[in-house]
A and B are shown apart, each in its own frame.
Chain A
Amino acid sequence: MSDELPTPTGVRPGGPDSGAEHELLDLVEENIEQATLWGEAWKTLRRNPMFLIGGVIAVLMTLIAVFPSLFAGGVDPRDCDLTDARQWPSAAHWFGTDLQGCDYYANVIHGARISLSIGLLSVVGTMVLAVILGTLAGYFGGLTDSLLSRFTDIFYGVPLLLGAMILLTVTEERSVFTVSLALSIFGWMTAMRLVRSSVITVKNADFVAAAQALAATTRQILTRHIMPNAISPVVSFMTIAMGGFIASEATLTFLGIGLQAPEISWGLQINVGQSRFSSAPYLVFFPALFLSLTVMAFMLMGDALRDALDPDRN
């Protein structure tokens, strides 16, 4: 981005001292540029306790989601014994047992996968929509921009939960994929506006003019030069959005419109547990705790990322 070359002394790994090929040099320079951009952010982040707390919880939840049986100690969440139904937490069952006598700890642990999958899929879906539409609107401007922006306004007026609710009710199919799709379709608008405005800022930069002068095609300019530089402001927003999507899935499922019974989901567990709250409050407490901690982890990380990547705001 800057005109001056980064000073390679001390940074060059091993040092390609003689006859370094241009390609390699370019590669090294690119890495230095990247290292400084994210290096600065990382320096700020690792001193931020909020980010560290969020990061530790997020990593832990991700590990749980990837290797649930490891964390559940090999206990099968669907291996239930009705005679053990509704036992309070004990040494044998850390989180007690549910109405069917299943080990609740194993169930809550296995719930992480659904929440994180839906959060991640929704974030990916949102990013795809937001980056494509936002880049097109921001780069081409004029009529394209007006049309795409009005299109965004139309979706913006529909509340996320309501839109997802209608879509899931009429399609009558509730899987991890359809829930994520519904959340993406009604959750991309703010990200699109962020991408659009950052593309507008980036497209007048010198390196875009340079690429144009070198007769790069529009497609090259968009994918190689504009998109990579326009995405960083969206990263912190999407981290916060990940928490939001996880909460939305749980809410939809809790209301009976999201995932359904054979799936293991925190929203479902809270829904079932609420009717027995006075006699077995732990049935609500544990899934709600895991859910809230997961959402909080991403919110904390997103907040810290925003401060680190975008210092102008403070």
Chain B
Amino acid sequence: MIRYIGRRLLMALPVLLGTSFLIFAMVYALPGDPIRALAGDQPLPPEVIAQLRAEHNLDDPLLLQYLKYLAQLFQGNLGTDFAGNPVSETIALRLPITARLAIVAIIFEIIFGITAGVLCALYKNSWFDNLVLVSTTMVVSVPVFVLAFLAQWLLGFQLGWFPVAGIANGWFSLILPGLVLAALSMAYVARLTRTSMAETLGADHVRTARSKGISELRVVTRHGLRNALIPVVTFIGADLGAMMGGAIVTESVFNIPGIGRAVFDAVRNQEGPVVVGIVTMMVFFFIFFNLVVDVLYGVLDPRIRYE
């Protein structure tokens, strides 16, 4: 197990470096000029431009720029944005907000996704099953930004149940964006749970449990659900790793100052250090959660062995 984790971490390192170089190269090597983007409409005096270019190593060859960046990175320095604020400070400020949003979304996925999936498996081809099939198809088809807009308008504006945007009301204002962020995965969780649960309920051990006279509730929860949830847990874990990417759209529409909004603003302003820093961190979480899931898989399902 330890060896397995070690090997996976070792394999993750070149991927992490590769991704950060990919983003770095895109931000710094392509024609867009970050200093010009910074200046906006007002032209900067040439001395200021020269100083800014020197400060951000923009005149070095690309690979040298990247190595300088890496050297700084390993000393825990993620660089500064053009206004002089350390990128690490931005992350420390924004990450907790996105983390809270992700927690709300995961709770939605678990509660609604799994419940719907289990009920569908128990009452296959009932009206409820068909309702879930149709509504998950619709949720998957409607683009997230349209969904966000609909939720904002219906639940926030018309019915007035939830705040429309911003985070002034703490956790409460995260319910609507959390629901939107979770919507797509909720649909997948429901379908995955349905398939997996239906398969488990037809398995021999469940039939045996029933024949022993165990109550139906116990059969479903202890013998069925426990086994059926293994692929679902895997999906949710991997989804958690991908959530920061999904948060870009949600946070932009709902005006939530999280990490997704931060990277969106940074991309638009072409603030290289911020983009590279945040994306590298996102990829790190992505790889990390996938590793956690793979390890967890073995814990949940003792049949799986790591050599």
Contact = CB atoms under 8 A, between A and B. Distances in A.
Interface of A: 50, 150-151, 153-155, 157-162, 165-167, 169-172, 243, 247, 250-251, 254-257, 270, 274, 277-278, 281, 284, 288, 291-293, 295-296, 299-300
Contacts, number: 117
A50 B279 CA distance: 38
Given A296-B141, A299-B137, A300-B137, A158 B22 contact: yes
A170 B27 contact: yes
A157 B143 contact: no
Q: Mostly helix, strand, loop or mixed at chain B's interface?
A: helix
Given A150-B18, A162-B248, A255-B252, A296 B145 contact: no
A255 B145 contact: yes
Nearest to B268: A169
A150 B23 contact: no
Nearest to A303: B137
Contacts of A291: 143, 146
A165 B245 contact: no
A239 to B, nearest CB: 13
B26 A151 contact: no
B141 A292 contact: yes
B155 to A, nearest CB: 14
Contacts of B18: 150-151, 153-154
Nearest to A254: B145
Interface of B: 11, 14-16, 18-19, 22-23, 26-27, 30-32, 137-138, 140-146, 149, 153, 157, 242, 244-246, 248-249, 252, 263-264, 267-268, 270, 275, 279, 282-283, 286-287
Nearest to B244: A159
A50 B140 CA distance: 14
A251 B249 contact: yes
Contact of B19 (A154, A250, A281, A293): A154
Contacts of B286: 157
Nearest to A314: B195
Contacts of B245: 159-162
B272 to A, nearest CB: 9
Contact of A166 (B14, B26, B283): B26
B149 A274 contact: yes
9 contacts: A154-B19, A157-B286, A159-B244, A159-B248, A165-B248, A165-B267, A166-B26, A171-B31, A257-B268
Contacts of B27: 166, 170
A157 B283 contact: yes
B242 A170 contact: no
Nearest to B138: A296
Given A154-B19, A169-B32, A170-B26, A295 B143 contact: yes
Given A159-B244, A167-B30, A292-B143, 14 more contacts: A150-B14, A153-B15, A154-B19, A159-B282, A161-B248, A162-B282, A166-B279, A255-B264, A257-B268, A277-B149, A288-B149, A292-B138, A295-B141, A296-B138
Contacts of A292: 138, 141-143, 146
Q: Mostly helix, strand, loop or mixed at chain A's interface?
A: helix
A296 B135 CA distance: 12
Nearest to B269: A169
A256 B265 CA distance: 12
A170 B249 contact: no
A251 B143 contact: yes
B291 to A, nearest CB: 12
Contacts of A155: 19, 22
Nearest to A146: B11
Contacts of A159: 242, 244-246, 248, 282
A170 B268 CA distance: 9
B19 A157 contact: yes
A227 B287 CA distance: 31
B286 to A, nearest CB: 5
A190 to B, nearest CB: 13
Contacts of A278: 157
A151 B17 CA distance: 11
> Which one of A155, A157, A159, A281 has the greatest number of beta carbons of chain B within 10 Å?
A157
Contact of A255 (B249, B270, B279): B249
Contacts of A151: 18
Contacts of B15: 150, 153-154, 157
A292 B140 CA distance: 9
B11 to A, nearest CB: 8
Contact of B279 (A158, A171, A284): A158
> Which one of A255, A257, A278, A293 has the greatest number of beta carbons of chain B within 10 Å?
A255
Contact of B249 (A161, A166, A167, A270): A161
Nearest to A297: B141
A204 to B, nearest CB: 23
> Which one of A50, A274, A278 has the greatest number of beta carbons of chain B within 10 Å?
A274
Nearest to A300: B137
Contacts of A284: 149
A172 B32 contact: yes
A251 B142 CA distance: 11
Contacts of B146: 270, 288, 291-292
> Which one of B32, B141, B153, B264 has the greatest number of beta carbons of chain A within 10 Å?
B141
A170 B270 contact: yes
Contacts of B268: 169, 256-257
Nearest to B283: A157
Given A159-B245, A159-B246, A299-B141, A277 B153 contact: yes
A290 to B, nearest CB: 11
Contacts of B31: 170-172
Nearest to A287: B146
